[in-house]
Amino acid sequence: MSETEQTLSIIKPDAVERNLDEKIKLIFKENGFKIIKEKKIQLEKSEAEQFYKVHETKPFYNDLCNYLSSGPIVVMIIEKIGAVAENRRLMGATDPKKAEEGTIRKQYGISIDKNSVHGSDSIENANTEIKFFFNS
Catalytically annotated residues: 118
Considering the complex, state which of residue 26 and residue 94 has its C-beta at the smaller distance from Mg ion: 94
Alpha helical stretches, state H, the chain:
13-17, 21-30, 45-51, 61-68, 83-91, 104-108, 123-134
User: At 73, is the secondary structure helix, strand, or coil?
Assistant: strand
Size of the site for Mg ion (CB under 5 A): 1
- Distance, in Å, from the CA atom of 87 to the CA atom of 9, rounded to the nearest integer, reads 8
Write down the least CB distance from residue 111 to ligand UDP, Å.
8
State the first-to-last Cα distance of the chain, in angstroms, to the nearest integer.
32
Q: What 3-state DSSP class applies to 58?
A: coil
Residue nearest to Mg ion as judged by C-beta position: 121
Q: How far is the CB of 1 from ligand UDP (least distance, A)?
A: 26
Q: Which residues contribute to the site for ligand UDP (CB under 6 A)?
A: 55, 60, 64, 94, 112-113, 115, 118, 121
**Interactions with Mg ion, residue window 97-126 (CB under 5 A):** 121
Chain positions contacting Mg ion, by CB under 5 A: 121
